């Protein structure tokens, strides 16, 4: 091997090493945000005292948690909203109280579902989807137009728990997001 060939190989190896020295960390930096996921399918949170939830009247509550976009993490941000409906009266002992929870995200196109108290229903202002206070889609025969939502409001796990320190009863919700626009409930990462 002559000196010229040796210098070519040495230069090629040096160039390759330099390229890898820059490319590997650069590629890892760019791909990290795509790979990184919170890994949580749901968030369990105490959202409201049972005594603050009137029987039969839906109440909207925020779900607060950690929000992340690409490389930035924001603590104590609203990550979702939930509708709570107390099904039992105040005469029922707290440990036997029944509360239902529904995601406030419309299953049609993920708009925020509001409340139409006069008509006693949940209402999505984006495309006029409507649901009764049990979370079921209202049929076109009652609405006067087609209900665009492909499914009922998404029910969430909910239970009443006692705080041992305060001796107060709380409504605890397991918040979960579901893919919009599908007939089946497909969980998404929170």
Residue with the bigger pLDDT between 165 and 135: it is: 135
pTM over 0.85: no
Name the least confident of 72-81, 90-99, 105-114, 138-147: 72-81
Q: Give the pair of three-digit tokens for residue 55.
A: 């029987």
Question: What pLDDT is attached to residue 72?
Answer: 84
164 and 119 in one domain? yes
Cα(124)–Cα(108) distance, rounded to whole angstroms? 9
Q: How many domains does the chain have?
A: 2
26 shares its domain with 60: no
Helix (H) or strand (E) holding 55: none
Q: How many residues does the chain have?
A: 190
Same domain, yes or no: 87 and 130: yes
Q: How far apart are the first and last CA of the chain?
A: 61
* Helix or strand (DSSP H, E) at 45: strand 42-49
Residues 58 and 111 in one domain: yes
Same domain, residue pair 90 and 173: yes
* pLDDT at residue number 38: 47
Residue 176 has pLDDT above 80, yes or no: yes
Question: Domain of 60?
Answer: 42-188
User: How much is the pLDDT for 187?
Assistant: 92
Q: Is residue 86 domain-shared with residue 17, that is, in the same domain?
A: no
169 plus 107 within the same structural domain: yes
Whether residue 63 sits in one domain with residue 16: no
* Residue 2: C-alpha distances to residues 5, 16, 84, 144, 181 (Å): 6, 22, 82, 89, 68
Q: Are residues 31 and 66 in the same domain?
A: no
Backbone angles phi, psi at 58, to 5 degrees: -65, 140
What's the CATH code of the domain at 55?
Answer: 2.102.10.10
CB 75 within 8 A of CB 94: no
Do 46 and 32 belong together in one domain? Answer: no
Q: What are the tens digits of pLDDT across the range 15-29? A: 888 887 888 777 777
- Report the alpha-carbon distance of residue 85 to residue 102 in Å, rounded: 9
Say if residue 28 is in the same domain as residue 119: no
Other Cβ atoms within 10 Å of 150 Cβ, number: 14
Between 70 and 57, residue with greater pLDDT: 57
Q: Which residues pair with 177 in a beta bridge?
A: 188
Q: What is the pLDDT of residues 50-69, one digit of tens each?
A: 999 999 999 999 999 888 77
């Amino acid at each position: 091997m002559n000196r010229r060939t040796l210098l070519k190989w040495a230069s090629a190896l040096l160039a390759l090493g330099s390229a890898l020295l820059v490319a590997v960390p650069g590629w890892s930096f760019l791909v990290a945000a795509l790979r990184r996921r919170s890994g949580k399918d749901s968030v369990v949170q105490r959202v409201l005292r049972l005594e603050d939830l009137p029987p039969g009247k839906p109440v909207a509550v925020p779900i607060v948690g950690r929000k992340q976009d690409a490389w930035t993490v924001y603590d104590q941000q609203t990550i979702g909203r939930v509708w709570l409906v107390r099904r039992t009266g105040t005469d029922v002992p707290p440990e036997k109280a029944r509360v239902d929870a529904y995601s406030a995200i419309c299953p049609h196109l993920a708009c925020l579902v509001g409340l139409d108290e006069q008509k006693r229903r949940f209402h999505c202002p984006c495309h006029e989807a409507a649901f009764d206070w049990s979370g079921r889609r209202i049929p076109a025969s009652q609405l006067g137009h087609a209900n665009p939502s492909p499914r009922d409001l998404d029910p969430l796990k909910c239970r009443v728990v006692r705080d041992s320190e305060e001796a107060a009863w709380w409504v605890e919700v397991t918040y979960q997001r579901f893919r919009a626009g599908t007939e089946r409930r497909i969980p998404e990462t929170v």
